[in-house]
Chains A and B, each alone.
Chain A
Amino acid sequence: MVFGIAISIEALIRADVQTLKVKTHNSRNYRRLVGGFAVLYGAGALVTWIGLPGAAFLIVIVLGIAFGERRWWLLLSIAVLLPLVLYLFFSQVGGVPIPLGLLDD
């Protein structure tokens, strides 16, 4: 462990700082990174409220739009069908209790 920490420090010292700066300096790029993970954490946090299929629905819609998909009918179809198929597969075939959130009531 001590050896690992020592070489981690060495690796940090030798890290290609220039490359790091070039890649992360773009503020739009940085915002997108933070935004992308914020959506994921947000979806994760929403699971208890809207259930896993509901969170999956949101992920498809929000990220689909963010990625540039404009065919809303296609996006909506995937957002409904994919979580539904996965829900049915895991709950009916696998017997896994998938949380449904508000739909449980």
Chain B
Amino acid sequence: MFHDIETGLMLFLSVQNIVAIFGGVVIGVIIGAIPGMGAAMAVAIGLPFTFYMPPVTSILMLTGIYKGAYYGGSISAILINTPGTPAAACTMLDGHPLSKQGRAREALDAALYSSCIADFISNISLIFFAGLIASWALKFGPPEFFMLVVFSMTIIASVSGDSLSKGFASATAGFLAATVGQDLFYGTGRFDFGSTNLLGGLSLVPVLIGLFALPDIINRYAAGEFGAQVVRSAGAGAALTWGQFKKLLRTVIRGSLFGVGIGAIPGIGGAPAAFLSYSEARRNSKNPENFGKGELEGVAAAESGNNGVCGATLIPLLSLGVPGDIVTAVLLGAFMIHGLQPGPLMFQQNMDYIYAIYCGLLLSSVFLFVSGKIAIRYFSKISEIPDRLLMPIVLVLCFFGAFVINNSLFDVFVMISAGVLGLLMLRANVPTAPFLIAFVLGPLFENNLRRSLLISRGDFDIFLRGPICWFFLGLSVLTIVSMFLRERKRRKMVRTLMEGEGG
């Protein structure tokens, strides 16, 4: 073992490896901050440039891009209300309101510190618990996955704002949108209206950009709120103090652990982890009513959940050869290009590579901090651009972002149509976050539900087949009951207040 560690260290300690990690993180942060460009795309773009590098250097650069992009998504989410990555959509809920209040610097700092800590915890978890967590996640069959998704869905209640009904209505629309396209099992078209484009389903990124970026721009234009009014003061305002961050630490560590847990389970990804962490932070907060209106704890929760996933997704990839998400699928391809096959055999035959990668991952958390600080300073220039220039620029970024995901003009129209829907929802005070959650979790929900029922031949008892199912079912029931009790209490309070005013 010590020989492997020594060889791994020797393999890692080279200038080109360190430059590759730093370069990867910086590129990742920049690309992640461009709306519509996710971590998967950033890694995919970086992949051809690493063909001629040694295997460890190549993998480290790509993981650097991956981590940087996950953090970078929060910059545009906070500053221009456009999530650079799907996982950053949750950061936007509180990050942008903070930015509007002139506290962008605090939000960006909170996002950066939370991301770095979560990333570090995730890396440590990868190193110490790789085998353990991966073997636990391996026990998950479709019913267990389904119950996990059901529990994740209960967060819809937390982001529904003042009206639970409107939140559920929004979630229903999200579910419906997620069903567009080919049936997962029979391959038949659903809601495709004979269009081959719709048969492929609606891509997440165009829907995301359309739902969250366009309504704000068009609404501001319609209201004539441009030019004189400074909506963002990005980078302006005081930096986050240690005292402020100390209060967030508990949330950050909890979010990081959520990220680690969810990241270790293949197929879930950063967005659900961010929303789950956010929901838990709100549930445990002394000021839950401030969530969605500009709460630092919300930003910290979302970013820690989101970045906590990064290291953990490598657990099933490295120990079992199972990609946890699209990014790790691209990474798996990178390993194979270099003649390496991640999995149990790699732990036996190429342990030095594993240790070299571990060293690089730990260093990447430090580089994430450095490049994040540079990015905050650089991107704070956005505050100096007036809306009349920034809005067309953001729109152009949205157009390119929507197009390049699948090289499809259809996605541009999906984005614009989602923008129309988002604007209608904005005007009717219907929250868009439940739509997004249902849209992200919808395919997972459906896939695991149907797979389970196929296995059990239609018998619903399969969802109660073991302790993991019971655990998630119990958590879901508890959440739903507490949600209704809270809603009843809120309505009672409103009624009492109204009666008081009337009497």
A residues with CB within 8 A of B: 1, 3-5, 7-8, 10-12, 14-16, 19-20, 23-24, 29-30, 32-33, 36-37, 40-41, 43-44, 47-48, 52, 55-56, 59-60, 63-64, 66-69, 74-75, 78, 82-83, 86, 90, 93-99
Closest to B227 in A: A68
B218 adjacent to A37 (CB under 8 Å): yes
Q: Which B7-62 residues sit within 8 Å CB-CB of chain A?
A: 41, 45, 48
A14 adjacent to B399 (CB under 8 Å): no
A63 adjacent to B168 (CB under 8 Å): no
Residues of A within 8 A of B175 (CB): 1, 4
CB within 8 Å for A41 and B222 given contacts A78-B389, A96-B407, A98-B403: no
B227 adjacent to A14 (CB under 8 Å): no
Bound-state CA distance A52–B416 (Å) is: 15
Instruction: List 9 A-B residue pairs with CB atoms under 8 Å apart, sorted by A's residue number.
Output: A11-B165, A11-B169, A15-B429, A20-B428, A32-B222, A67-B389, A75-B389, A82-B396, A90-B400
Known: A33-B423, A36-B221, A48-B409. 13 other contacts (CB 8 A): A4-B172, A11-B430, A12-B169, A32-B222, A33-B218, A36-B222, A43-B399, A44-B412, A44-B416, A47-B412, A56-B399, A59-B396, A96-B404
Bound-state CA distance A98–B222 (Å) is: 31
CB within 8 Å for A14 and B412 given contacts A96-B404, A98-B403: no
Chain B 130-174 interface 0/1 with A at a Cβ cutoff of 8 Å (1 = within): 000000000000000000000000000000000101101101110
A69 adjacent to B388 (CB under 8 Å): yes
Closest to B427 in A: A23
Closest 8 CB pairs of A and B: A4-B172, A67-B388, A8-B169, A32-B222, A11-B165, A36-B218, A63-B392, A69-B388
Tell me if B236 counts as interface (CB < 8 A to partner A).
no
Residues of A within 8 A of B396 (CB): 56, 59-60, 82-83, 86
CB within 8 Å for A52 and B395 given contacts A16-B429, A24-B427: no
Closest to A41 in B: B416
Residues of A within 8 A of B416 (CB): 37, 40-41, 44
A4 adjacent to B395 (CB under 8 Å): no
Q: Which B350-373 residues sit within 8 Å CB-CB of chain A?
A: none
Residues of A within 8 A of B45 (CB): 93-95
Q: How far is the CB of A57 from chain B (nearest CB, A)?
A: 9
Chain B residues within 8 Å of chain A by Cβ, number: 49
B165 adjacent to A19 (CB under 8 Å): no
Q: How far is the CB of B233 from chain A (nearest CB, A)?
A: 19
B residues with CB within 8 A of A: 41, 45, 48, 163, 165-166, 168-169, 171-173, 175-176, 214, 217-219, 221-224, 226-227, 386-389, 391-393, 395-397, 399-400, 403-404, 407, 409, 412-413, 416, 419-420, 423, 427-430
Residues of B within 8 A of A68 (CB): 226-227, 388
Would you call the interface of chain A mostly helix, strand, loop, or mixed? helix
Bound-state CA distance A75–B176 (Å) is: 41
Max chain A Cβ within 10 angstroms of own Cβ: one of B48, B222, B386, B413: B222
A29 adjacent to B400 (CB under 8 Å): no
Residues of A within 8 A of B171 (CB): 4
B222 adjacent to A78 (CB under 8 Å): no
A40 adjacent to B172 (CB under 8 Å): no
B427 adjacent to A20 (CB under 8 Å): yes
A64 adjacent to B429 (CB under 8 Å): no
Bound-state CA distance A5–B176 (Å) is: 11
Q: How far is the CB of B385 from chain A (nearest CB, A)?
A: 10
Residues of B within 8 A of A56 (CB): 396, 399-400
A78 adjacent to B399 (CB under 8 Å): no
Bound-state CA distance A94–B227 (Å) is: 35
CB within 8 Å for A40 and B214 given contacts A11-B166, A64-B388: yes
Bound-state CA distance A98–B403 (Å) is: 8
Bound-state CA distance A90–B403 (Å) is: 10
Bound-state CA distance A15–B166 (Å) is: 9
Bound-state CA distance A55–B403 (Å) is: 12
B165 adjacent to A10 (CB under 8 Å): yes
Q: How far is the CB of A35 from chain B (nearest CB, A)?
A: 8
Residues of A within 8 A of B419 (CB): 37, 40
Q: How far is the CB of A45 from chain B (nearest CB, A)?
A: 9
CB within 8 Å for A97 and B407 given contacts A5-B172, A24-B427, A56-B399: yes
